[in-house]
Amino acid sequence: MTKVKICGLTRLEDARAAANFGADALGFVHEPNSPRFIGNDEPKWVADLDPFVLKVAVFGNVNRVPGKTYFDFVQGVDWELFPEPATKRIRVIRLLQGQTAQDHTDQTINAAAILLDAYRADAYGGTGHKVDWDIAAEIVQRSQRPVILAGGLTPDNIQDAIRRVRPYAVDVSSGIESAPGIKNLEKMRTFIELAKSA
């Protein structure tokens, strides 16, 4: 069964609903340029969420690793400052048009998993743009790490995406929102159900 990460959460009620609907992981954005930025201080209500649902701190370029926090994983694009292996790390690979799976086979070493997202010059993620599913499927086959598929996923396309790519997990943010950072609960519930039944 494909695992599901709900990302860009900014409200307690949305995070609780995601956990209740069956999400496996919850993402909280720490990138100041994102409309889903939760602030520099960790919201205290995150500590009250289901302890058996993973919490992920989501960064753009990672230039610092949080100290003792509620996070189970840290997710980001650039890990060159932290070359040592780390099991609590999700490396984001933003796929550029024209790139191949071979271009990314050596970028999965120092992470527990990799996340594939679409490249946009003006944002690190949450743009609603799809990745090339054919390239993503080949990366899944080549990767030595679990692959999380993100980028433009919605309730309308999630089952097709899973059937074509066969990722370990999927990640959604803008595809289930009423506004940036505000989740549509019906879309979120439907997305999780469809992803887990694909």
Residues, the chain, total?
Answer: 198
Cα separation of 193 and 83, whole Å?
37
In Å, how far are 25, 53, 188, 190, 191 from 22, measured between CA atoms? 9, 9, 10, 11, 10
Please tell me which residue in 7, 14, 24, 132 is annotated as part of the active site: 7
117 is catalytic: yes
Alpha-carbon Rg for the chain, nearest whole angstrom, is: 15
165: burial class by Cβ within 10 Å (0-12, 13-18, 19+)? buried
Digit-coded pLDDT (tens) for 31-71: 888 899 988 777 788 888 999 999 998 887 665 655 546 78
50 is catalytic: no
Structural domains of the chain, ranges and CATH numbers in brackets: 3-197 (3.20.20.70)
Please tell me which residue in 14, 24, 117, 171 is annotated as part of the active site: 117
pTM of the model: 0.88
What pLDDT sits at residue 126? Answer: 54
